[in-house]
Amino acid sequence: MSAQSVEVVRRFFQLFEEGRLADIEPLLAPDFEWVYHGPASLPWAGTYRGVEGFRAFFGIVRELIEVQECDAYDYLDAGDRVVVLGVSRTRVLANDARYEAQWMNVFTVRDGLISRYLDLYDTARVVEALERGPQEGTPAP
């Protein structure tokens, strides 16, 4: 079962990289919960439930940032949980600021579907980039 869980999560990231968000929806359990930790100043921090929550998250994010690269570089098999380590490079649409952030995701897979997605991210870099003025929008190292 755990190898199957890793494959479900790999598929999630493959579809994300291809921009096929609607094709991710069948991978989500009916009681899917996405918890994105972060401060109140981060517009998309919060808990999202079900397919509607999944869509709502991306509705917010698409208005504010453009993910230029999302590299899920390590998948750790923990039975019904899959821990993914990665790094993302992103551009803020309002000010052209760019940031690179490390992240860790913990997926819970039940009966071949993703039931929980715990999203732990270097939100300090994200908030800093969102708050930069247009004249400060130089790329981050």
Q: How confident is the model at residue 2 (pLDDT cuts 50, 70, 90)?
A: confident
- pLDDT at position 28 over 60: yes
Q: Looking at residue 134, what is its pLDDT? A: 64
Could you tell me the CA-to-CA distances from 56 to 43, 76, 137 in Å, in that order? Answer: 12, 28, 27
Cα–Cα dist 107/99, whole Å: 24
Give the CA-trace dihedral at 10, 11, 15, 21, to 10 degrees.
-110
Q: Within 13 Å and on the Cβ side, how many CA atoms surround 38?
A: 22
Sequence-distant (≥ 6) Cβ neighbours of residue 25 within 8 angstroms: 51, 54
pLDDT: is 132 or 33 the higher one?
33
What is the chain's length?
141
Q: Looking at residue 137, what is its pLDDT? A: 44
Mean pLDDT of 104-108: 98
pLDDT digits (tens, 9 = 90+) for 46-94: 999 999 999 999 999 999 999 999 999 999 999 889 999 999 999 999 9
Q: Looking at residue 132, what is its pLDDT? A: 86
Q: Looking at residue 79, what is its pLDDT? A: 86
